């Protein structure tokens, strides 16, 4: 993995990533081609999405119809017939709800038209493989924002032990992943039993195969173990799936000072 870039605050990280998204969208707009953003939900990317809305407010030259939001995962539940389906999009912890309310809605509020709702993409538990086909039809993911689980290194919902060639699929969520998500969606998850046991997720192979550029964001003191593990990785380590970023094309590791800990003494990103 390349040397991490360390930022003073999570807002500084969000601004840096948003700047890159807008620059990439401008290039795509000039060429008349889609720009696909790989987008996680949760706490880590919130400053990026807020900064993106602020930037797009003054960029009326950009064609937001070309911006596609490729969500990484969502919770699923079993239906009465035993099949899986995504959780109700009205639930606070629904990743579909997150995409609509925390990515699309703020951009629509400042731009008027915003990103077409049809450009918000999520995997379908009834046909997981169709998501990999969709991503391929967009020409791949221009920029994939990645985040790591604090205690087990999950990326999207890929659990420890996920193969490097895994594609979009339904997975059973580990207790560690579910505990991490209790914090993310508190107070809606009060006990571990409140957290769904299954999710649909892009695979490690999906990320590796489809991504033109990947940026791993680690924010807060609780991500220090993840920061140390990922910074030291030179290849994908199945025990810590977030190390996938080490093998992605054009990867970067962005840390705030709280996540960097002792690394801050030797590395500093001036912004």
Give the domain range for residue 103.
5-265
Collapsed DSSP state (helix, strand, coil) of residue 204: helix
Domain CATH code at residue 137? 3.40.50.1360
In the predicted structure, residue 266 carries a pLDDT above the cut 80: no
- Domain assignment of residue 107, yes or no: yes
The answer to whether residue 259 is domain-embedded is yes
**Whose structure tokens read 């997981």?**
128
Query: Cα separation of 228 and 153, whole Å?
Result: 11
Confidence class for position 136, pLDDT limits 50, 70, 90:
very high
Evaluate whether 269 touches 259 at the Cβ level (below 8 Å): no
The predicted pLDDT at position 190 comes to: 81
Whether residue 271 has pLDDT greater than 50: no
Token pair belonging to 92 = 């606070």
Number of domains in the chain: 1
pTM here is 0.93
pLDDT confidence of residue 265: 66
Burial of residue 51, with CB atoms counted within 10 A of its CB: 0-12 exposed, 13-18 middle, 19 or more buried: buried
pLDDT in tens, 11-63: 999 999 999 999 999 999 999 999 999 999 999 999 999 999 999 999 988 99
The beta strand positions in 108-241, using DSSP E, are: 120-121, 143-147, 169-172, 198-201, 214-218
* 63-101 pLDDT tens trace: 999 999 999 999 999 988 889 999 999 999 999 999 999
In a domain, 211, yes or no: yes
148 occurs within a structural domain: yes
- For residue 250, being part of any structural domain is answered with yes
Q: What is the rounded CA–CA span in Å between residue 47 and residue 52?
A: 8
Tell whether 271 is covered by a domain. no
**Residue 270 is assigned to a structural domain of this protein:** no
Q: What share of the chain is helix, strand, coil (3-state, %, to 5)?
A: 40, 20, 40
């Amino acid at each position: 993995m390349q040397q991490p870039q360390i930022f003073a605050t999570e807002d500084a990280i969000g601004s840096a990533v948003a700047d890159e998204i807008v620059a990439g969208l401008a290039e795509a707009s000039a060429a008349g081609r889609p720009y696909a953003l790989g987008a996680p939900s949760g706490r880590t990317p919130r400053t990026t999405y807020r900064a993106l809305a602020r930037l797009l407010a003054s960029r009326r030259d950009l064609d937001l119809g070309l911006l596609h939001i490729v969500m990484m995962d969502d919770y699923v539940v079993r239906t009465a017939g035993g099949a899986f389906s995504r959780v109700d999009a009205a639930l606070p912890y629904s990743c579909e709800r997150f995409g609509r309310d925390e990515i699309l809605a703020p951009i629509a509020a400042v731009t008027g038209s915003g990103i077409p709702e049809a450009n918000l993409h999520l995997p379908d538990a009834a046909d997981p493989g169709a998501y990999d086909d969709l991503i391929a039809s967009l020409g791949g993911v221009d920029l994939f924002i990645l985040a790591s689980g604090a205690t087990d290194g999950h990326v999207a919902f890929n659990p420890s032990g996920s193969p490097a060639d895994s594609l979009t699929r339904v997975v059973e969520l580990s207790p560690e992943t579910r505990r991490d998500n209790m914090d993310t969606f508190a107070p809606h998850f009060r006990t571990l039993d409140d957290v769904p046991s299954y999710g649909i997720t892009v695979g490690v192979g999906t990320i590796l195969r489809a991504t033109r550029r990947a940026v791993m964001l680690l924010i807060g003191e609780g991500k220090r173990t993840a920061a140390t593990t990922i910074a030291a990785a030179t290849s994908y380590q199945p025990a810590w799936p977030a190390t996938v970023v080490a093998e992605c094309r054009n990867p970067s590791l962005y840390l705030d000072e709280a996540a960097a800990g002792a690394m801050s003494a030797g590395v500093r990103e001036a912004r």
